[in-house]
Structure 1
Amino acid sequence: MIKNWFKNIGPGPLVAAAFIGPGTVTMCTLAGVKFGYALLWAMALSIIATIVLQEMASRLGVITQKGLAQTIRAEIKSPVIKGLAVFLILSAIVIGNTAYEAGNISGGVLGLEAIFGENTMQTGWFSFKLFSVLIGVLAFILLYIGNYKVIERVLVALVILMSLAFFITAILTKPNLFDVLQGVFMPTYPPNSIFTIIGLIGTTVVPYNLFLHASLVKEKWHDKSDLKYARKDTIVAVILGGLVSMSVIVSSAAIQTQDISSAVDLAKGLEPLFGTYSKYFLAIGLFAAGITSAITAPLAAAFVACGCLGWTSNMKSMRFRSIWMFILIFGIVSSSLGIKSIEIIKFAQVANGILLPVIAAFLIWVMNRTSVLGEYKNSLIQNVVAILILAITVFLGLKSILKVFEVF
């Protein structure tokens, strides 16, 4: 039974690996430090929303054998609207992932530095971090191989490593299970918690995962009868990813001080309370979170760009490789030299803030088209839940844009 389950593992763990990046770990750390277990319900809500949207993306990929970007090109008939959609998607996903890639690599570096200490090399006028180059080279080799099965197996192994690391860290803090369950099932709104709640949802329900998932399922499954495997894969992986995020919140809730701003601070704060091992487990988890996102972000951008521009999505094609190479190399250089591309990141946040509700709305629309999905289109219940989630994504999008312009 276990062997059969592993055989049918698909892109689900890759999607989980993509949304549990350093940003998610940091957001969950801050949520736990500031509000204890009180915001666990927000992560539970995020899990439900992510399962609904990712299930639709995977169903679209299995049934149509097309990526989401390809479907957008095919289904939007107006040249003007199609052009705007392609521009927005390329801006948010390709430019956005380029900006965030340095953060993904830096997150993995922080995990290694928490164990081995800082490792910087001075060359002439500038210094660079060796760990950034190491993580970048590992990601480069894996992506250049261009074999879906190899990438899947490596990322599944890293997700398992990350999950165990964060679960063990949470167990070491000996949480009160009643308080944890209360935090999950009884929503509360502590003072000044609204932005943290939005942040927890926003780091889990991410637009580029919808494109990544729809593209990857057709690499794994090719028949409508495989839909049941795709659905199970999605549900199990997203729940596992959500539990990992919850484990970070639980772990950070054990810290009594408010002087914590990142997962590295959390690792250092846990050490005197729960022993050296707690620091190591958390550092391993942060490293795995960083390197998995450093692999999936360029991969997603390459699928999106090829789909939008009508290029082949063959992972070994030169165009496909050139896109992820640019993003990865930019991330390695920015991370190793400590460059912060603030303006690019701000632009990406605005584009993502607009893109999430737009893509969610388009996904709901296309999932109701009989001409695209036939009998596999959305049911009434799926539509009701999806529209509720769409309302959340609109709120998240507005918040993201207004935050960039410092309206509130």
Structure 2
Amino acid sequence: MTENNNKVAPTPSAADPSQPPRGTLARWKLVGPGIVVAVTGVGAGDLVATLIAGSRFGYALLWAAVVGCIVKIALAEGSARYHLATGSTMLEGWRSLGIWTYWYFGIYIVLWGFVYGGTAMSATALPLAALFPDVLPFWAWGALSGIAGAVFVLLNRYAVFEAAMKFFIGVMFVVVVGLAILVMPNLGHAVTGLVPTIPEGSAIYTLGLIGGVGGTITMAAYGYWVNAKGWRTPAWMGVMRLDNQVAYIATGIFVIAMLIVGAELLYTAQITLSSGDRGLLDLDEVLEQRFGPVVSTVFLIGFAATTFSSILGVWHGVSLLFADFVRQATGGTGDRGDLEKTPAFRFYVLWLTFPPMVLLLLGRPFGLIIAYGAFGAFFMPFLALTLIWLLNSKRVPKEWRSGWLSNGLLGLAAALFIVLSLNEIARLF
């Protein structure tokens, strides 16, 4: 009798691994795919865009960063909700809307992968070359970072990949938030930035801050990471939503921290950064002059963690999307739950790694950039609009279709990304 009284009743997940646990703490321990999205989506270019917004407008656009995170929560939640509610993938959903969606994505992902591969390797080479200036040339650091990412992704399954991404978010959190604390933020001014205002000349920066940070093709990969975690039925909807909210709260913390750095360190001194990833090297010089070489070195380590984690996330997540694209092209054969083992997954990892190395040596061909920009500018509107279409259709069980809040946020995202895409096309031409 005593032995029976001392037994602990198993949670639903212990009795049935296909069911989520009921306890709050147990659910928090499962958080993971959202962390992967957050770490992958926040790249060096995103941090620079936030820094520049802070350096030009102080805290005035802080509200835009908060709105941006709310919009991204809606997009990622919609993607994963479709996976869990229907048992289908985003690629299957897009194909059900017509063959045009399927081939648009196919052309886009091939172009995007080639250019992004070169961009990601170049971004990772920047801090490594700055940390070890006399060890290897710039192009070699880029190539090694791409190869290291490919080897890691090809040799490890999702669980190890997620653990690595949690490590990188820890490094990023310590460095970025620590830097925001170091520059001694003016909390009074920061609070005023939560009141929506659009200073003169800030319209595009405002839209970019809402739409750009943490928003890439990897948002469509979120549902695949949710499935890779083992969450496959509507029973996991609550856990997924917690996971997604944690992801974009973390993203919001990064954005706010970098805005603080821009406002306190650069705005008051009227220091201008270079656009693109190299802006972080400019910041490194400012940090070294003000705080010394130790802070500068720690910042470069955080910079490297940011860029390399994006390599890992894209090499894994977008390769899952490509593998599912090929699965659909071959008639939907094969187990969609084991895309990591497919030849298509391995092919796309290598596509991201080796052909783009040419860009490290030659620079980006103008014609390719035009094509990439044109296709890329329309991906986020495509994602937002197709999610609205899918999540309000009979493909989704009635109880999991979008309500007014989800539709409103997805509609806001679609309108925002259409404006941003038109601006991107105007810049290109």
Using the size of structure 1 for normalisation, the TM-score is 0.89
Aligned twin of 1:59: 81
Aligned twin of 1:258: 271
Alignment of 1:1-400 (within 5 A): 4=26, 7-73=29-95, 75-76=96-97, 82-117=98-133, 119-121=135-137, 129-183=139-193, 185-204=194-213, 206-220=215-229, 221-253=231-263, 254-255=265-266, 256-261=269-274, 262-309=279-326, 310=328, 312=334, 313=336, 314-335=339-360, 337=361, 339-400=363-424
The amino acid across from 2:238 in the alignment is K
Provide the aligned length of Structure 1 versus Structure 2. 391
CA displacement 1:109-137 (0-9 Å, x = unmatched): 2222333335434xxxxxx5332233123
Distance 2:354 2:29 in 1: 33
CA drift at 1:389: 2.3
CA drift at 1:338: 5.8
**Structure 1, 302-311 or 27-36: larger mean CA deviation:** 302-311
CA displacement 1:337-383 (0-9 Å, x = unmatched): 36334432332221122222122111011111243233111122222
The amino acid across from 2:91 in the alignment is A
Distance 1:388 1:295 in 2: 30
CA drift at 1:162: 1.1
Change in 2 beyond 3 A, CA 1:192/1:119: farther
Q: Retained in 1: the 8 A contact 2:36–2:166?
A: yes
Distance 1:165 1:42 in 2: 23
CA displacement 1:196-224 (0-9 Å, x = unmatched): 22222332263512321121111111232
> Aligned to 1:166, what secondary structure does the other structure show?
helix
Aligned twin of 2:4: none
CA drift at 1:231: 0.5
CA drift at 1:35: 1.9
Change in 2 beyond 3 A, CA 1:6/1:205: closer
CA drift at 1:167: 0.6
The amino acid across from 2:416 in the alignment is I
Q: Retained in 2: the 8 A contact 1:166–1:285?
A: yes
Q: Retained in 2: the 8 A contact 1:49–1:389?
A: yes
Q: Retained in 2: the 8 A contact 1:169–1:281?
A: no
Change in 2 beyond 3 A, CA 1:158/1:6: farther
CA displacement 1:128-186 (0-9 Å, x = unmatched): 53322331232012211240111111112111211211111111111101112222x11
Using the size of structure 2 for normalisation, the TM-score is 0.85
Q: Which runs of 5+ in 2 are unaligned?
A: 1-22
Aligned twin of 1:124: none
Distance 1:5 1:275 in 2: 42
Q: Whose Rg is larger? A: 2
Q: Retained in 1: the 8 A contact 2:380–2:417?
A: yes
CA drift at 1:304: 2.6
